[in-house]
Structure 1
Amino acid sequence: MRLRGERMRTILGMAVVAMGLCGCSASTGEPGAADLQRAQAARPSDPQLAERYERSCMACHAVAASGAPLTGFTPHWQRRLAQGMDQMVKHAAEGLNAMPARGQCNDCSPDDLRALTRFMSAGAAQ
């Protein structure tokens, strides 16, 4: 029994270390708690864009479980932005996969969509 207890402590210790490593978003491509907090707190500096972001974009891009690329989380945006900003704006305008056309921002102009995409992908290679 004693060996089993020591073995359990070792396994639990390794699990704790592994969980800590999994929380490191750069190594896994999955956002950690700090990444989620940043996405939930982020707002464009322009008040009009901030209002549109809160109304239309945030419901998906500040929630990791949505499947949308998380605002400000580089690993989610790099592959998408490799296609170029024009393609990203086209996808935003027309919709793609689960993303509805215009991200349900019917009053967003193409320039607004471009600015919002730049804001959400900030930090990623553009």
Structure 2
Amino acid sequence: MSTTTDDGVPVPTQAGPARGGVVVIASEDRVRVSFWGVVDADVRSQFVAPLWTNPTPGRPCEIDCREVTLMDSIGLSVFVRLVQDAIAEAQDVQFLGASSQVADLLETTGVEAWMRHLGVRIV
């Protein structure tokens, strides 16, 4: 779907493929949360409802950010809340990794050190 101005100039629309998202896969023995693409306000508003209603409290939680291309402050807040909620539910949390951009963000903001302090296993 595309829209143009009277001059024929394309105008971006909301329709189209998502720029980023999150996938939650719950199995009998674990929960895997995989973020991908741009993790920002759009991801928070469209994709994170399953994160706040954890279907498997007490099961190990794996978090994967290896396919994230950009994470802004809102995306970081989603990530931090996920870790907080998993720890609060007594879940064993394992961080599977991040793209170089996200790894730098987690280190610079102190989130990586905070996760280590909480006992998150960082692969």
Same fold (TM over 0.5): no
Q: Based on CA coordinates, which of the two structures has the bigger radius of gyration?
A: 1
| TM-score between both structures, scaled by the size of structure 1 | 0.30
**With structure 2 as the length reference, what TM-score do the two structures score?**
0.31
Name the structure where helix makes up a greater proportion of residues.
Answer: 1
Looking at secondary structure, tell me which structure has more strand per residue: 2
